Amino acid sequence: MKRVITYGTFDLFHIGHLNILKRARELGDYLVVGVSSDEFNAVKGKKCAYPYGHRSRIVEAIRFVDKVIPEHSWEQKEADIRENAIDIFVMGDDWEGKFDNLRSLCEVVYLPRTPDISTTEIKNEIASGSKPKD
Domains in the chain (CATH in brackets) are 3-128 (3.40.50.620)
The pLDDT mean for the chain works out to 91
Mean of pLDDT values over 52-60: 97
Phi, psi of 11 (to 5 degrees): -85, 145
Amino acid symbol at 101: N
Phi-psi domain of 45 (left: phi exceeds 0; alpha: psi -120 through 50; beta: other) = left
Burial class, 83, CB count within 10 angstroms (exposed 0-12 / middle 13-18 / buried 19+) = exposed
Residues 57, 70: Cα–Cα separation, whole Å: 11
Mean of pLDDT values over 44-64: 94
Enumerate the H helices of the chain as residue ranges: 15-26, 38-44, 52-60, 77-83, 119-128
- Out of 5-9, 71-75, 127-131, least confident range: 127-131
Q: Catalytic residue among 2, 22, 46, 47, which? A: 46
44 is catalytic: yes
46 is catalytic: yes
Q: Catalytic residue among 2, 22, 44, 133, which? A: 44
Residue 33's pLDDT is 98
Q: Are 51 and 6 in contact (CB under 8 A)?
A: no
pLDDT at 45 over 70: yes
Residue 34, classed as helix, strand or coil, is strand
Q: Which helix (H) or strand (E) holds 129?
A: none
